[in-house]
Amino acid sequence: MGSFQSELSLIGTFADMPEILAFVTQACEQARLNPALYFDLQLAVEEACANVIEHAYGGRGGDLRIRFETQARDIIITLQDHGRAFDPDRVAAPNLNRPLAKRPIGGLGLHLMYQLMDEIRFAFSDSGNTLVMVKRSAVLEDHAESPPAEVVHG
């Protein structure tokens, strides 16, 4: 089976979000994903990057690498940073039953990522933090056998 891989490396700040989203859109197109999934993947990456910039780097931004790849019909998106680590199990689940006007702003990033993706894995070490998000059966079936391609940005 063919595979696709594309990477974006940058000093990630909130001002870079349009570039990050354009990268995800381009990768979705080049990897021949189901167009119905583009928005879900964009939103998951946007939330993950916003969390890294805000929480791992304290809003100042820092090294951020995004790898977008296919394995068979699955898409794997990997984010790597060198910011402050956190324990995802200690992040409180949002109370979605509260009236919208009474909910705090923010706090939905992890929840959305878990809802949009089929698998989420975190790894933290002295050499950095890694988030892996997997969406299964994302590559259109008639393109799963395409020849390998690689595009590297940044």
pLDDT confidence of residue 131: 96
pLDDT confidence of residue 3: 86
pLDDT confidence of residue 71: 94
For 131, other C-beta atoms within 10 Å of its C-beta total 23
**Owning domain of residue 115:** 4-152
Query: Average pLDDT for consecutive 10-residue bins of the chain (154 residues)?
Result: 87 95 96 94 94 92 96 96 82 59 58 89 93 95 52 52
Number of domains in the chain: 1
140 Ramachandran zone, left/alpha/beta (phi>0; psi -120 to 50): beta
Whichever domain contains 73, its CATH number is 3.30.565.10
Q: Which residues pair with 79 in a beta bridge?
A: 66, 131
pLDDT confidence of residue 147: 44
Could you tell me the pTM of the whole model? 0.82
pLDDT confidence of residue 109: 62
Closest CA to 81 of 13, 31, 21: 13
pLDDT confidence of residue 111: 72
Q: Which residue matches tokens 């939103």?
A: 43
